[in-house]
Structure 1
Amino acid sequence: MNAGVGMGFGYNVAIEKLAEELAVPQDRFDQAEKRYKDLGEFLHRDESKVRDYDPDVYIQGSFALGTPIKPTSKDEDYDLDIVVSFRSLTKARISQAELRALLRAELKAYRDARGIKNEVGESRRCCTLIYADGAQFHMDVLPAVPNEANMRVVLSSYLADQALAEGAIAITDSDKTSTYRVITDDWPRSNPRGFAAWFKSKQIEQLNERRRAFLDAQGKVTASVEDVPVFRVRTPLQSAIMILKRHRDEWFAEQDPDLKVISVILTTLSTHAYAGEARVSDAIAKILRDMHLEIKERNGVSWIANPTDPSENFADRWEEFTERRESFFKWLEAARTDFGAVQRFSDTNIVLNELSRNLGSTLVEGARSRVAASAGSRAASAAPAAAAGASAPGLVFGGEDRRPTEPKGFG
C-alpha cells in the first residue's frame, strides 16, 4: 500500500514548510566546514607536534549527513562532530591514552592561537572545543587511527560487503580502563565515513535529483553531482529525519529526557524504512509504519545493527536499561498517532495548529510564516476540506494492527 494515498494537500504543504523551518541555514554549514578545515590546516602547520602522523580531519554525525536541526533556543549549541584520524599511526605504536594526550595538546595550542576562551574539555571518547563567538558551536573532536584491515575481518565473518571497511577507524574510550593505557589491538571501532556512504546510497535517486537542481541553479552545467556535498541539498529522507528528531525532542521533554531515543537509532531505522519516496510527508509515513522492522533479536537481546559493522548494536543499552526500549516504542506509537491524526487534512492552518503541541509553537509559527509567503500555500489553505473525509486507505498505517509495544514479530 502506498503510504501517501489520501493525504490532504494542506498536510503535505505543512510538512514541507516544517522541514524548511527546521533546516540549519546554509551559512551554518559553511561555518562548520570552515571550522573543521581550519583545524585541519592548524594540525598540519610547521610547528605541529602531530604533522608527521598525517592527521585527516573530517566531519561526522548529523552535519555530515545533512540532518542537523536548529536548536530550540539561543542558549543551545550546534553539535559539530569531528574526526581526527592519524593516518601514519597504528594501534601497534601508541596507546589510546597517548593518542588522546597528543591531540589534546594540539587542541590547547589551537585554542590559544584562535583566542577561544573556554578550556579544552574532555569526555570518554572526545575532546571538546566550545566557541564563544556567537556561532553556537561546540566541537567534539574524536582522535582515531586507521582500522580498515581489522574491519574487513569483522565484515568477512558476517558475510557482509567488505567495501564497507573503507575509512574504518579505531577510537579512544577512557572508560575501557583495562585497555586505555596499554598498547593493544583491542580498541573500540567506528566507521563514520562508511555510515555516511550507506546513508547516501539509500537515497541516491532523490539525492542526485536535488544535486542536479542545485548545480543548475548555480549555473554549473558541467560539474558532477558527486561534487555537491550531501549537506548542500535536502532530500525527503533528510527532512523526515529532521522532523522526527524534533518530535522526539518535544515528546521526551514531557516524559523523561534521560530516556530520549538517540539520534543514531532514529537515523538508522528511518533510513532502513525509507523506500525512495519523493515527498517528505510520504517519507514520514513510510518510516513511521516500518521503522521497527529492523529491530532484530539476537539471543534474546534487542539488536539494531550498525549497517557498517554488524557486530555493533546501537541498542546495546536497551538490555541493561529496559526502560529505554520501552520508551522507544511509546514514542513511536505517539508519533504514529500524532502525524496520522492530521495527514488527511486539506487546511494547512489546521494541520499546523494540531502539530503545534507535538513540534513546538516556535517551529510551527515559523512554518506558518513560510506558508503565508507562498502563493501556492494560500491556494492550499483555500482548498475544499472534503479530503479530510477520504477513505481509510489514506491512513498512514492502514487498518492493520501495528502495536509497537509488542516486540514479538519485529525480527
Structure 2
Amino acid sequence: MSANFGIGYGYNVAIEKLADELAVPQNRFDQAERRYKDLGEFLHRDESSVRKFDPEVYIQGSFALGTPIKPASTDEDYDLDIVVAFNALTKKHISQADLRSLLRDELRAYRQARGIQNPVGESRRCCTLVYADGAQFHMDVLPALPNEGNMRMVLASFRADESLADGAIAITDNEEIETYHIITDDWPGSNPRGFATWFKSRQLEQLNERRRAYLNERGNVTASVEDVPAFRVRTPLQSAIMILKRHRDEWFAEQDDPDLKVISVILTTLSSHAYDGEARVSDAIAKILKDMHLKIENRQGIHWIANPTDPSENFADRWETHPERGDAFFEWLDAARNHFGAVQGFSDANTVFNELARDLGDQVITAARSRLSTHAGPRAASVAPAAAAGAASPGLVFGDEPRRPTEPKGFG
C-alpha cells in the first residue's frame, strides 16, 4: 500500500538519500554480530563459572530491529544491546543481585581475556562493556532468566494472544530496592524477541520483498526469506524510524533538559502502529507523523503506550511522574510535522536539503547531498516530468486535522 500525500519528486529523492546516509554500514552489523557471538562462546568455555546455567546470548534493541543510525560524531558510540539469558536457572534459585553478580564476574574475565581497558560498568538494568577509544562501540549486557510461564498468565488475564509470551524474560533492576536482594518471583519483565517479531509483522510485505531481492542478488534461490536477518535489508518503516530518530536527536539537543528526549522504544512502537505498508520512505514518514498519536491511550488520566507483547507494561510510565516528558513528546511531534510537512511538496531535492539542514544537522545533510550528486547525477535534483511544481504548505501532510487534541482523552 502506498498513500498519496502530495509528495514532490525532489522531496522523495532527498528522503531516500537521507535514509542511505543514516544507515549503519553492513560491516558494523557484522562487527556487532561477531562481538555478541564471541561473548556467547566465552561464557560456554570450559572454565566458565556460568556454563552450567546454559547462558544464551542474543541481540536486542535497534540493531536487532535494523533501526540504528550512525552516531552524529566520532565522540558518540554505537550502542549494542545484548541479552544473556540463563536458561537453566529460575527465579526460585537466585536473586536479581546475585544474577547480576554472576554476569559481572564473567564480564570482568572476558574484559581481561580480550584486552578491554575500560572497567565493567553498571546501570539500572545492565552491565556495560566499553571498547577501546576509536572502536565506537559499547555493549549493554542485560542478565535475564526465562519468564514465559508468568507472561502467559499476564496475557491470559488481558485475554491477549498467549503466543506473545514466547521469549519472555525476567530481568534485573537495581532500583527495585525491596526485591533486588531477595529470592522472589517478583522480577521486572521484558520480551525483546517478542517485540522484534511484532515489529516484523508490521512490515512483513515490504520486509519479505526486500529479503527476496537480497537473495536474488546473491543468486541464492534455495534459501528462505526467513533466513535473511532484518538488518541485512532496509524497509521503508526502518528508514522512516531512522530519519525520525535523527530529527528527535537534533530537536532535543536544543532543549534545556536531555531527560526530556523521547525514548526510542516509544518512537519505534508508535511509528510501527501508524505504518500501513507504504512502499516509499517519504510516504511512510507522512503516514507515521499523521497518525503517530493514535495509539497513546488515556487510562484513568494516565497516558498509556502499551508494550505490544505485554499489555500490562506502559512504555510511557515515566510520563506520570514526569509529565513534562509527555508534553515534550507532543511538542516534538508538532515540530516534526511542521518541518517535514513544509517541504514535502518540493520538487527540487537541493531545496529540501537546504530547508532540513537546521532540523537534521548540517553534517548528515552535506553527506546526503554528496550521495545525490555522486550516485544519481544532477538530474535527480531537478523536477521530474510528473512532479507537481511549488512547495507544500506546512499543514499539507495533515490536511485539516488538528495536530494535537485539546483534551487528554483525544489521544486514545
SS, match of residue 155 in structure 2? helix
Equivalent residue number for residue 216 of structure 1:
216
Structure 1 residue 85, shift from structure 2 partner? 0.1
- What residue identity is the alignment partner of 2:122? E
Contact (CA 8 Å) 1:241, 1:267: kept in 2 or not?
A: yes
The equivalent of 1:296 in structure 2 is 297
2:311 is aligned to 310
Q: 1:81 to 1:379 in 2, by over 3 A?
A: closer
Name the stretch that deviates more: 202-211 or 252-261. Answer: 252-261
Shift in Å at residue 84 of structure 1? 0.1
Residue 384 of structure 1 and its aligned partner are, at CA, apart by 6.7
Deviations 1:154-204 (CA, angstroms, capped at 9, x unpaired): 000011110000000000011111101110000000000000000001100
Q: 2:345 aligns to what?
A: 344
SS in 1 for 2:279: coil
Aligned to 1:188: 188
* In 2, Cα distance between equivalents of 1:255 and 1:92: 45
1:21 maps to 21
For residues 224-262 of structure 1, give each alpha carbon's deviation from its aligned partner in whole angstroms, at most 9, with x where no partner exists. Answer: 100000001000000000000000000001113220000
Paired-residue identity, % = 77
Q: Using structure 1 for the length normalisation, give the TM-score.
A: 0.97
Alignment of 1:209-248 (within 5 A): 209-248=209-248
Unaligned runs of 5+ in 1: none
Aligned to 1:378, what secondary structure does the other structure show?
helix
Say whether the 8 Å CA contact 1:13–1:377 is kept in structure 2: no
Map of 1:362 onto structure 2: 363
CA distance in 2, matches of 1:247, 1:32: 25
Task: State whether residues 3 and 397 of structure 1, in contact with CA within 8 Å, keep that contact through their aligned partners in structure 2.
Answer: no
Matches within 5 A, 1:143-154: 143-154=143-154
Listed as ranges, the matches of 1:6-405 within 5 Å are 6-132=6-132, 134-256=134-256, 257-375=258-376, 378-383=379-384, 387-389=388-390, 395-403=396-404
Secondary structure of 1:174 counterpart: coil
Secondary structure of 2:388 counterpart: helix
CA contact (8 A) 2:298 2:409 kept: no
Q: CA deviation at 1:133?
A: 5.6
Residues 87-136 of structure 1: CA deviation (Å, up to 9, x unaligned): 00000001111101100000000000000000000111100000006321
Aligned CA-pair RMSD: 1.8
Q: What CA distance in whole angstroms lies between the structure 2 residues aligned with 1:138 and 1:393?
A: 39
Partner letter of residue 214 of structure 1?
Y
Residues 314-352 of structure 1 deviation map (CA, whole Å, 9 limit, x = unaligned)? 000101111101000000000000000000000000000
- How many Å separate the matches in 2 of 1:392 and 1:71? 32
Deviation at 1:391, TM superposition (A): 8.6
- C-alpha distance in 1 between matches for 2:77 and 2:383: 39
Give the whole-Å Cα distance in 2 for the aligned partners of 1:399 and 1:385.
Answer: 26
Are the equivalent residues in 2 in contact too, given 1:371–1:378 (CA < 8 A)? Answer: no
How many residues were matched structurally? 411
Specify every segment of 5 or more residues in structure 2 that has no aligned partner in the other structure, as ranges. none
Letter in 2 for 1:73: S
SS in 2 for 1:47: coil
